Amino acid sequence: MMTSINMKKFDNILQNLPEDKRALAANLFEEMQFMKQTMAELKQLVQEQGTIQTFTQGQTSYPRENPALTAYNKTMGRYNQTYKQLMDILPTDEAEQETDELLDFISR
């Protein structure tokens, strides 16, 4: 969940975007926050359960990748795609400064 201080920083970044890109940027950012939280939960599950689990079907058992790890990897790929989309929206003349602020915020 976003804190008010972090949201204020992101609001400042949004104000520098053209009107037609603000809603898209806000939606992408919101999705990134959700994915970041989801990845933290999935990571915790993988750390607790391990990367390989024994799957039993009837009398047969075999090792398989932890479904939480599969979901984590898929979510990470989507997170990276969403991040790229968000960075592409930023104006090129302001992108460097805003990218640094956004990276600081996202990495918390």
**In the predicted structure, residue 89 carries a pLDDT above the cut 90:** no
**In the predicted structure, residue 2 carries a pLDDT above the cut 90:** no
- Residue 8 burial (CB < 10 Å; 0-12/13-18/19+)? exposed
**In the predicted structure, residue 36 carries a pLDDT above the cut 90:** yes
- Per-residue pLDDT band at 65 (split at 50, 70, 90): very high
Structural domains of the chain, count: 1
The predicted model gives 66-87 an average pLDDT of 95
- For a pLDDT cut of 70, what percent of the chain falls above it? 77
This prediction has a pTM of 0.74
The predicted model gives 59-69 an average pLDDT of 95
Residues 6+ apart with CB under 8 A from 37: 1
The predicted model gives 96-108 an average pLDDT of 63
| Euclidean distance between the first and the last CA atom of the chain, given in angstroms as a whole number | 11
Residues 6+ apart with CB under 8 A from 32: 79, 82, 83, 86, 106
Quote the domain boundaries for residue 88. Answer: 4-106
